[in-house]
Amino acid sequence: MDIFSAAVMLFLIMDPLGNLPIFASILRHIDPKKRRRVLIRELIFALVIMLAFLYAGEAILSFLNLRSESVSIAGGIILFLIAIRMIFPQPGGVVGLAAGEEPFIVPMAIPLMAGPSILAALILLAHTDSSRMGDWTIALVSAWGASAVILMFYKLFTRMLGEKGLTAVERLMGMVLVMISVQMFLDGVSNYMKTAS
């Protein structure tokens, strides 16, 4: 996987357009003067957490004695489930903050930006080729940067796309993520079959 493919995959998993309505609903109840500061703080927290998982991923796998094939298969399954939720969204609220309460790490940084699926993908990237950590860092920062821009201008994107437009884009991203997840699963199975034989 090259830097661009990795960045696109990570961007799709972060799903900034899908998170737009949730971020908007959280920020709506915060003092307008604090909104931008809160959003920037949460985005930075998310980046730090993701970088920590990217660089500690190999150590985590070694400690748990996991093979890369099992992580690839598990990652593919997780991404597939996330993608299905993007295509067929679940009813009900996502966060339970009281009106005016300022979020701190949860739920904006974790799990909305740095959720289980992105952390699993970062561990997988680190384990796939630990000699290319610079490439994976560039891919992660690029995906995070693109997501951050979209979320920083959440009002503009919400007005431009509208509710139906956001839903359509999220479902399209979900379809692409389904294909990526199936490929990850098949690669894991293929590699396992080669090493087992």
174, 36 in Cβ contact below 8 A? no
Could you read off the pLDDT of 35-62 as tens digits, one per residue? Answer: 899 999 999 999 999 999 899 877 877 7
Between CA 147 and CA 128 the distance in angstroms is 24
Query: Given this model, what pLDDT does residue 93 score?
Result: 40
Could you read off the pLDDT of 137-182 as tens digits, one per residue? Answer: 999 999 999 999 999 998 888 788 787 887 787 788 788 878 888 9
Exposed, middle or buried: residue 189 (CB in 10 Å: 0-12, 13-18, 19+)? Answer: middle
| Domain range annotation of the chain | 1-17+32-98+105-194
Crossing angle of helices 154-196 and 68-87, in 10° steps, is 140
pLDDT band (50, 70, 90) for residue 95: very low
Query: Given this model, what pLDDT does residue 97 score?
Result: 54
Tell me what the mean pLDDT of segment 79-86 comes to.
79
Give the DSSP per-residue string, 117-138.
HHHHHHHHHHHH-GGGHHHHHH
Could you read off the pLDDT of 7-40 as tens digits, one per residue? Answer: 999 998 898 887 887 787 778 778 888 889 999 9
Query: Given this model, what pLDDT does residue 58 score?
Result: 74
